[in-house]
Chain A
Amino acid sequence: MAKEMQISEGRLEALKEEAARTGKVQGRGALPVGSPFPKAASATSYNGNPVLKPPTWTWQVPLYFFVGGVAGTSAVIALVAHVSGNAQLWRAGLWIAFAGALISPPLLIADLGRPSRFLNMLRVFKLQSAMSVGAWTLAAFSSAAGLALVCHELILAGYGNGFLLLVGSAGEILAALTGLILASYTSVLLGVTAIPVWSENRTLLPAIFLGGGVGSAAAVLDLLGLLVPATQFIGIAASTVETLVAIIIELRGRYVDRPLREGVVGWATRVGAALAGPASLFLRIFWGHNSGVRYLAALCFLVGALITRYAWIGAGRVSSRDPQALFQIQRRGRNAAAPSVLS
């Protein structure tokens, strides 16, 4: 501090002379560290402090998004496989759906601040809360998938009769229907919030989560050794969707999407999209006849889909900290010169 403030003897003389001559001396004074002090202004928000609160969710939640996507879409694959007569895919699909249904609740319960009160999730049913819809959907899906699997295995073991077939089929249909919701409601969960990057991408998120879900289910089936044309088809379709979504986000270049393009989260988004998108797509299309390459393509997709979910939660965190992201959306919908909120 002393260094910067040292002035020469000549300056002191000049000050004395100016004071004697004019009776007044102008001086700026020392600027403390950290100055100029933050000024609150309309363009800069209240000192740049965040307006919104970041999501509180822990690592279990994006993992649940991934598992739920695989499980839910697996039930759909199982039903269609059943109808098409593909016994292997039918059975594998049911097992994957059930496995996912077993893993999902512990993941969600572990994320709760008060895990012992997890049953309060089923205290009410609120259509306007995507999380309430999701909790009940998971409960219904788990029951249906379990029922369908038990019936299927009993039939395979030789205890089959008309009743079991009927109940099993009903379970499969219910599992497929609730599975579709299970794999997609999480996109509504994120989209219907105050977080700018989530709510402004609410029409794109279902494609990402469902595409990622069904592509992951196909990838798991591939990795289990069921390298059938159906999973290749699904894998290519899903990777195409992931590629298209990634292109849309990059080309749009919107301010609100900056967390998806900048910083650590931006890189995670791009790596996830690259793996689940172009990487998996090209591997499948050009070298998909080779089973080793198909395993690689499947693995790429799974890793990419998982990373993508973590990236989206991270993007929400970053987005919540930027007041301008929120203000811009709101000013856009109104005449900035005459805010109608106020009088």
Chain B
Amino acid sequence: MSTSAFLTDASVCIGCKACEVACKEWNHIPDDGFEWSGQSYDNTRALGASTWRHVLFLEQAQPMGSQLAGLEDPFRWQFLSDVCKHCANAGCLEACPAGAIVRTEVGSVFVQPDVCNGCGYCVVSCPFGVVDKNYEVGTAFKCTFCYDRQRAGLMPACAKACPTQSIRFGQLEDLRHDGHARVRELRQRGYSDAQIYDPCESSVGGTHAMFVILGDPETYNLPPAPEIPTIHMKSAWGAALVSMLVLVLVVSLAFVLTG
């Protein structure tokens, strides 16, 4: 059983949005409305029910790598294509009461559109804010990891369309290795803030979409320490149990003390 993954490299992304377009065209996803955000060329702002690849445009007052000129007023323009992380321990999957969200044989997290009844619990359970409800259709949507294409032996549409190989598709362990190698190379070339975003040590347990980024994850709206919400199960139910016991005591006392 293979475990496929994405490695998305911000250091080579050119912000062309071929990935966004390819994803929408292959999956027949509607537009997001034509709203100008005023945030560089990013008019989608975040992943959502109708945006499964989201290109970020970061204008930063920081130098780029080992640039020598313009350091008195540094500026760099960074791009990254964000996507569903397909977590090893997925908050959305654990939360779904209908069992609509499942793990596929390629390791991805998949929302079965014919089972979902639109309860919205997955939406508040994703630590990355990926999955959302489409209000017209009524059910939840997110990146499918091009499950249909993978089953036909093809790579996902976004990876196919990416002109710079910023989006790489392959086996998880290979890409993880490549990602770390890429970060080492970038740091050697003067990009001291190059990092790989792959939260293996958190309760999410690692993701099947890794990112090579320049700078802190918060800059890219990636949670620095994502947690699957079910780690709070014990404390939450524990508190509920205590409250239940107190309630039984109070109600019993109410009748015992007052006769």
Q: Which residues of the partner chain A approach B129 to less than 8 Å between Cβ atoms?
A: 50-53, 194, 320
Chain A proximity mask over B100-129: 1 for CB below 8 Å, otherwise 0: 100000000000000111111101111111
Indicate if the CB atoms of A55 and B124 lie closer than 8 Å. Answer: yes
Query: Least Cβ distance of B43 to chain A in Å?
Result: 12
Of B40, B250, B259, chain A has the most CB atoms within 10 Å of the CB of: B250
**Chain A residue at smallest Cβ distance from B129:** A52
A285 located at the interface, meaning its Cβ lies under 8 Å from any Cβ of chain B in the complex: no
Any chain B CB within 8 A of the CB of A159?
no
List of B residues within 8 angstroms of A34 by Cβ? 38
Quick check: A327 and B132 within 8 Å, CB to CB? no
Nearest CB of B to A216, in Å: 13
A contact residues around B198 at 8 Å (CB) = 341-342
| Chain A proximity of B255: nearest CB distance (Å) | 4
- CA–CA, A202 to B236, complex, Å? 5
Is B172 on the interface with A (CB-CB < 8 A)? no
Give the contact-size bracket for chain B.
35 or more
| Complex CA distance for A177 and B180, rounded to whole angstroms | 53
Residue of A nearest to B44 (CB): A49
- CB-nearest residue of chain B to A46: B221
B68 on the A face (CB < 8 A): no
Partner of B123, one of A51, A53, A187, A207: A53
Per a CB cutoff under 8 Å, which of A40, A81, A192, A232 touches B230?
Answer: A192
Residue ID in chain B nearest A84 by CB atoms: B255
Which residues of B sit under 8 angstroms from A296, Cβ to Cβ?
none
Across-interface contacts of B232 in A (CB, < 8 A): 191-192, 199, 202
B247 to A214, Cβ gap below 8 A? yes
Residues from chain B with a CB closer than 8 A to the CB of A120 are: 98-100, 115-117
Cα A280 to Cα B125 with chains together (Å)? 35
| Smallest Cβ-Cβ distance to B199: which chain A residue | A341
What 1/0 flags go to A111-155 for Cβ under 8 Å of B? 111110110110110101111101100000000000000000000
Interface segment among A7-15, A164-172, A328-336: the answer is A328-336
Residues in B with CB closer than 8 Å to A73 are 247, 251
Q: Is B233 an interface residue (CB 8 A)?
A: yes
A334 to B244 alpha-carbon distance, docked (Å): 34
- Bound form: Cα–Cα A201–B252 in Å: 28
Q: Are A56 and B120 in contact (CB under 8 A)?
A: yes
Contact B121 A131 (CB under 8 A): yes
Cβ contacts under 8 Å, B217 to chain A: 339, 341-342
With A37-B59, A121-B117 already in contact, the answer to whether A339 and B225 are too (CB < 8 A) is yes
- How far, in angstroms, from A77 to B258 measured CA to CA in the complex? 14
The answer to whether A341 touches B219 (Cβ under 8 A) is: no
Find out whether the CB atom of A126 lies under 8 angstroms from the CB atom of B97.
yes
Cβ-based interface call for B29 (8 A): no
Residue interface bits A68-79, CB-to-B below 8 A is 1, else 0: 000001001100
Per the bound structure, the CA–CA distance linking A313 and B242 in Å amounts to 23
Looking at chain B's contact residues, the main secondary structure is mixed
B195 in contact with A343 (CB, 8 Å): yes
Least CB distance from A37 to B in Å reads 6
A184 within 8 A of B: yes
Residues of A within 8 A of B237 (CB): 188
Contacts of B239 in A (CB 8 A): 187, 191, 202-207
A162 at the interface (CB under 8 A from B): no
Of B1-9, B17-25, B133-141, B152-160, the stretch lying at the interface with chain A is B133-141
Of A194, A202, A229, the residue contacting B126 (CB under 8 A) is A194
Say yes or no: is A2 at the interface (Cβ < 8 Å to chain B): no
Please encode chain A, from 28 to 59, with 1 for each CB lying within 8 Å of some chain B CB and 0 for all others.
00000010011111110111011111111100
A339 cross-chain contacts in B, Cβ below 8 A = 216-217, 224-225
Residues of chain B within 8 A of A184, CB atoms compared: 240, 243-244
Residue from the list B131, B201, B243, B251 in contact with A76, Cβ < 8 A: B251
Binary contact track A215-253/B, C-beta < 8 Å → 1, others 0: 000000000000011111110010000000000000000
Q: Which of A43, A77, A112 has the most CB of B within 10 A?
A: A112
Taking a contact as CB atoms closer than 8 A, the residue among A76, A84, A316, A340 that contacts B248 in the complex is: A76
Closest chain B residue, CB of each to CB of A214? B247
| Closest Cβ–Cβ distance, residue B102 to chain A (whole Å) | 11
- Tell me if A342 and B219 are in contact (CB < 8 A): no
Q: Mark B204-228, 1 if CB is under 8 A from A, else 0.
A: 0000000000011111110111110
Whether a CB of chain A sits under 8 angstroms from the CB of B56 is yes
A123 touches B98 (CB 8 A): yes
Residue of B nearest to A85 (CB): B255
Which of B236, B240, B246, B252 interacts with A80 by CB under 8 Å? Answer: B252
The winner among A43, A115, A135, A184 for most chain B CB atoms within 10 A is: A184
Please name all residues of chain A whose beta carbon is closer than 8 Å to the beta carbon of B248 when the two chains form the complex.
76, 180
Besides A73-B251, A198-B124, 20 other A-B contacts (C-beta < 8 A): A45-B219, A46-B218, A46-B221, A53-B48, A53-B124, A54-B123, A55-B120, A113-B118, A115-B117, A121-B97, A192-B230, A194-B125, A199-B232, A202-B232, A203-B235, A231-B254, A316-B124, A327-B224, A339-B216, A339-B224
